[in-house]
Each structure stands twice: as structure tokens, then as C-alpha cells.
Structure 1
Amino acid sequence: MSQPSISIIIPVYNDPEGVRQTVDSLIAHTDSTAEIILVDNDSTDRTPETAAEYAEKHDHVLLVVEREIQSSYAARNTGIEHATSDLICFLDADQTVTDGWLETALETIDERDAHYLAPNVHLVEPDNPTLAGRYNTSTGFPIADFLERHHYAPTSCLFVTRELLEDVGTFDERLISGGDKEFGNRVHDTGYELHYAPEIVVHHPARNSLRALAKRSLRIGGGHCQLQQYYPDRYGRVGIPPRPSGIHGDQIRTPDTEQPNHESSRGFERILFTMLALGMTATRGIGYYKEYLRWIARRISGT
């Protein structure tokens, strides 16, 4: 295989259905000039076998394994080591792409001479959404806001050049969350422009359970504390969590309905969403202080 137009890196852990969904979508909407690298992060279920099936059937699909470090950022770095293209895209397992997504991305990167490009990640509501699923869909991925206010885009879908990676480095494998933020901030501080391309759309399934939302919030909270441990000059002193942030009122998008009492229904759902937002903010705080206590214990023990 000649040098591919792009290397698409997909880290995965214990998600065989997610791998199937994403790779099937890529094969349907992306030609074989793109290199697809599946990075199994030492899964304990059928994920490696599922990924291997695609690698055996398709010459442009490669399976590699990251066993030493349990971290999506370590898995992405392993993917980078095996990538053969000068342009790299990170995707999450369980995402799907749209027709023409890659052609549009390549054209946009070329036109803007972009080294860091974030597309529009659209959250897809489940067929039978719970309150958690509707909440997650309503808040979405405010990527334009992430880029403007916080100088990063999530690695759920992100295009970068090898030139940028050689300049600023790869992801910090120590972080359980927030590695996309730290990487984006490093890119921004180095002087690169962070580009947003809303016309490039990929789909991400919404989390449809409170447990899934809470697990994510705990991880984000722990990641905030780790960012302060490793980068206090940028993220502040350990023990003082960042300012709580939930969803803003104008981010909540409740569905329209033809029912006569639709205004009261929308209002009630907004109240529930606000309560959920407060709960997730509190859960992030719990995650932060759990990591903070581990940090204290390490300092006491000298490890």
C-alpha cells in the first residue's frame, strides 16, 4: 500500500459493537486510500477478535495493541507510532461518519493550511431515549465554544498533521481525562491556529443512562485534578478545583411537539435538565476530590 491520504486512529477498550459500527461506517463512506488503525487498549472481551476480523479482510485496516498503559491517550500515541500518513484523524469507537466527510476535510485542511482541525460532532439521540439520553443530546458538543474559550477540541474527532505532532509532542498518557484539553492548549500556546469546520459532520451516540453520565463526570473531575498536579502553572493549584461549569440555558434544546401543553412540557424538561446539570457538576467534584485524596496519599507515602 502506498502512503495513505490519511491515517485514522481509533482507540478502543471493551467495545466490539462500537468497533463494528465505526469501521463499517468508515468502509462505507471512506475509500481505501485512508489507513484505518484500530488500537486495542488491552480489552478483556471480544473486542480484539472483532477488530482482527476487519484487519484480516481489509488491507487498509491495521490492528495494534497498547497493553502497558490503560489510557485512551496512550492508545492514541501508539496509533501515532504506527501511522504512515502525514495527516492523522482521531475517532472514537462507536462513532459514524457521513458521506463526503473525508473529502471535505482534506479540502478544508488544504485551503486553510490547517494543522489542527475540529469537525462538528453531532450527538444522536437513542431510539428510546431516557431522560439521561435526552439531556446528553440536548447539551451536545459545543465545539466552537471549546475552541474559542478553552482552546481545544475533543479527540472524539480531530485532525492534526504530523508536522504539528513533531513540533508540540503527543498526548500526556498519565491523564485519565483532559488529555485533549492539555494537548489543545499546548498547540494553541505554541502559536498554531485552531480551526473549526462545522460542515464536516460525524455522529456520536448519546449516553442513555445516568450511570454512563456519572461515570464520565467522575472521570472528568479526576482529570481536572490531574491537570493541576502535572501543570499547576496552567491549571492552578491542586486542592482548588476549577470553577464549576454546567450547561448554559441556551445550550438546552428541548424537542418541539404538537401537543397543546408543549410549553409546560418543555419547561418541565428544562427544570429536569438543570437538576441533572447540577448533579453532574457535583459528580465531577466527587471525582476531583477522590483523585485529590489519592494525590495526598502518594505524597505522604513518597511515591
Structure 2
Amino acid sequence: MTNHPFVSILIPTYHDWARMALCVKALHSQTYPVDSYEVIIINNDPADPAPDNFELPPNFTLIAEGKPGSYAARNAGLALAKGELIGFTDSDCIPHPTWIESAVEMFSTGRVDRIAGKIELIYANDQKKSWVELYESIYSFNQKKNVEVLKASVTANLFTRKELFDKVGGFDATKKSGEDIGWNRRANTHGFNLVYGDKVKISHPARSTFREFRNQKLREFGGKKEFKLNTLKGIVKNILFLPFLFYKIVIGKTFQLFSHAKQLSVVEKAKVAGVNLYLYLILMTEFFRLLFGGKRVR
């Protein structure tokens, strides 16, 4: 590759220094020329500074953003980014050595505005997955499906030309979850294309315990769910929410599971169905807690 456009990699982190260090190591080992990319890490809790042994290579920068939320953190990184190409990932992700190089190669065709990169799940024991890991193997991080069905990409592995932010704007910092999909859909309305990059790979540890699963799902739910009770439409929508949620998770996802997840045994499918039921129960409980003024989980 003779042309090396400058690339800025943005990574929000929140109380996750140990895994962030692994991500830094992977990014420092990229095949892309070191003087052609920068990494901006955004600490989303200034009260939790990096530990004393947290060291960064010269082309890495650590900043702090006190406004809560990963999208506020990403916007802070965007304000400093010097690259003509912007890459996003998360502190718990491990980019493959050719991650940046593969993305730049795709952009070099001149027909690509955004890339949804492949996300490979890592399991504690690939031969004996936990109930939650089985769930993750079916439902989580299918970037190819995200592109084909949702016309969007999660920010765990997204590359975009920086110029898109001039027209689309930054992320909605009031959102705590789901804004990666929202921003991509706004980009779609401007005619910017999105392609799936099978070689633009990162690894992501699958959540393995019910505690990890619960915390993640409650953060997502709290970030998306709105309670508009000042209109009749809002009241009706909230009354119908739980029956809709039951149909979507317990019936719909479980039917899809037994119909299409041929790689799982019957016992494994039953475990995933059990996780679906657990998911409904914790979201139902969270619905009522938030409805009566509870604080959203971060």
C-alpha cells in the first residue's frame, strides 16, 4: 500500500482499565504505519484516572469527558481527531493486527463511505459454552446482518470518512444506548453507503455470566426506553409495551431460535430459550422501576 491516509481511532472507556490495556497493546501492534494513525482514548469518568502503570505509545492520547455516556465521549474524541478516516471500537475489544490496514484498503476503492467490520466472539471454553455464551453466539454482534437488515453498524467496529460528520453531525449525546444505529441511519438519509468488511476484524469476549448479561441489558434498556406519559399515545404505548416485549423476546426470538439455529443441539437451544425468558423478566422489572422514577443503570 503506497497511500497511507491518516486514521484516527476513538475509544471510550469507563472503569475498564485492565481490558483497555489489552486493546492498547493490540492497537500498538497494527501493520499500518505508526506515523499514519493516532488513537484517542476517552475516559468517561474523570474521577477514575488511569492507574499508574497504564502506559501509552507516542501516537496515543488519553483525554477525559465528564458528560456521562459513550456517545458524549466519542464526540469529545471527534473534536480532536486529525484523521481523514475515523475508526471506532470499545475498550473490551481486541483489533486484529491488520484491522486498520484492511479498512484503509477498502476505502481506497473510492466507493466506500462507511465500513461495518467483523466482530468475532471469544469464549472462555469454546467446547463448553455457558448459557449466556450460547445466547451471545446466536444474537450478538452479527455485523453482516446489521448491514443487510438494519442498514447500520455498532460502534464496536465501525470506520467512516470524517467528512460524513460535517453533514450528518455528531452522535446524540443525550442517548446512552442505540445511538450507533441512530447515527448510521441518519447517514443513510444523506446517501452515504455502508459496506460489510469481513477482513476488518476485531475480537470481543462473549459475556459469560448472568450478572454481566443483566448489567449490559439494563444499560441498553435504560438508554433507549422513554416514558412519555403526557399524551394519550404515550400512555397507550407504555401499556402495550410489556405484551409486545413478551411477544418479541419470549415467543419471537425463541421461535426463530428453534427454526434457524441449526448449529445448536436441542439442549443448547433450550438453554438459550431460558436466557430469553430471563431477559424478559429482568426488563419487565426494570420497566416498572424506571416508570416509578428509578435511576437508569450506567
Task: Give me the TM-score of the superposition, normalised by structure 1.
Answer: 0.80
Q: Give secondary structure in 1 for the equivalent of 2:225.
A: helix
Separation in 1, partners of 2:290, 2:151: 24
Deviation, 1:29, is 2.3
- Mapping of residues 282-301 of structure 1, within 5 Å: 282-294=281-293
Task: Give the share of equivalent positions with the same residue, in percent.
Answer: 25
Q: Identify the residue that residue 192 of structure 2 maps to in structure 1.
A: 192
Partner in structure 2 of residue 213 of structure 1? 213
Deviation of the 1:166 alpha carbon? 0.7
Pair 7,294 (structure 1): closer, same or farther in 2 beyond 3 Å = same
After superposition, give the CA deviation of every residue in 1:197-239 in whole Å (9 maximum; x if it has no partner). 122211001111101111111122223324x86xxxxxxx862
Question: Aligned pair in 2 of structure 1 residues 117, 50: CA closer, same or farther (>3 Å)?
Answer: farther
| Residues in 2 aligned to 1:151 and 1:292: alpha-carbon distance in whole angstroms | 31
The change in CA–CA distance for 1:291 and 1:88 in structure 2 (over 3 A counts) is: farther
Q: What amino acid sits opposite 1:77 in the alignment?
A: N
Distance 1:290 1:114 in 2: 44
User: Which residue pairs with 1:142 in the alignment?
Assistant: 142
Aligned-partner SS, 1:141: coil
| TM-aligned CA distance change 1:214 to 1:34, over 3 Å | same
Which whole-Å CA distance do the structure 2 matches of 1:187 and 1:253 have between them? Answer: 35
Q: 3-state DSSP class of the match of 1:111?
A: coil
The equivalent of 2:50 in structure 1 is 47
CA contact (8 A) 2:87 2:157 kept: yes
The superposition leaves residues 94-133 of structure 1 with CA deviations (integer Å, 9 ceiling, x where unpaired) of 2111132221111112215322210111111124853323
Cα 1:61–1:133, aligned 2, differ >3 Å: closer, same or farther? Answer: same
SS of residue paired to 2:170: coil
Q: Which residue of 2 aligns with 1:257?
A: none
Give, as a single letter, the amino acid of the residue that structure 2 aligns with 1:39.
I
Residue pair 1:10, 1:37 contacting (<8 A) in 2 also: yes
How many pairs were matched up? Answer: 273
Unaligned runs of 5+ residues in structure 1 are: 230-236, 255-265, 298-303
Change (3 A) 1:112 1:175: same
| Structure 2 unmatched ranges of 5 or more | 229-235
Give me the TM-score of the superposition, normalised by structure 2: 0.81
Structure-2 residue corresponding to 1:18: 19
What is the root-mean-square deviation in Å for CA atoms of aligned residues? 2.9
Does the 8 Å CA contact 2:120/2:201 hold for their aligned counterparts? yes
Contact 2:117 2:200 in 1 (8 A): yes
Could you tell me which residue of structure 2 aligns to residue 60 of structure 1? 59
